[in-house]
Amino acid sequence: MLANFISWADTSRGLSPAIAPFIDRTLLRPQDPSTPKFHHVEHDPSPVLKSASKSQSDNHKPSIVSTFKLTADQLNTLKAKANVANANGGKKHTTFNILATHIWRCVSKARGLSADQDTKLFFSVDGRNRLDPPLRPGYFGNVTFRHARIAQAGDLKTESFTDTIKRIHADFGWSRPIYMGPGNVVQEGKMYILASPVNDGSLSLATRLETPHMKAFEKL
């Protein structure tokens, strides 16, 4: 999809797109009948909060949206913590995996979940470079797939950072963007990881949590 943004950026500056958009919706048409190769936990219902009564679970509690900036130094600290176990040639973890792990653990702590409470982390996977055969360059369409991992809150709080990890630029000719992010975060617990518009190595995290949970999350 980024290539399509770049094509629009080229067009807005009066240039010809480097890669022409290609549209063919049949390429990602689902099988009929469906023949899944394994159980897809991302399609299962979300875990039920064990400590909540029916009246509590039926009512939406007040929640707020906050954006947190993670500096390059903070990210490097997390990376060092995550990759310390890989000093002997192990697989190096990506920034996304490291940050998603940190957020998952912190949110579970902020919510004060019981040790046996199941938690579920949803994230999107870019399928463009993972399909066989690969899609033609310039494919115009959404090729992201929802994926999920499940773990108990107690495990997330006690296991090592690396054990949890194992579970899981377009120039329009109008100068740098001042801000890029979601207009609103509708769902409680939803997260957006955003790149810095000034290339200082930092990232921002926009999320919505219940008001008391956000106060606890800010301290972690």
Q: Do residues 105 and 168 lie in contact, with contact meaning Cβ atoms separated by under 8 Å?
A: no
What is the tens place of the pLDDT at every residue in 80-113?
A: 888 765 555 566 788 888 899 999 999 999 999 9
Cβ pair 152, 119 in contact under 8 A: yes
Write down the H helix ranges in 34-94.
Answer: 54-58, 72-83
Query: pLDDT value at position 171?
Result: 57
- The Cβ of residue 188 has, within 10 Å, a number of other Cβ atoms equal to 16
Choice between 156 and 127, residue whose per-residue pLDDT is larger:
156
pTM, 2 dp: 0.69
Amino acid at 84: V
Q: What domains are defined for the chain?
A: 64-131+144-218 (3.30.559.10)
Residue 161 phi/psi, 5° resolution? -60, -45
Cα 85 from chain centroid (whole Å): 23
Average pLDDT over residues 131-158: 87
pLDDT band at 153; cut points 50, 70, 90 = very high
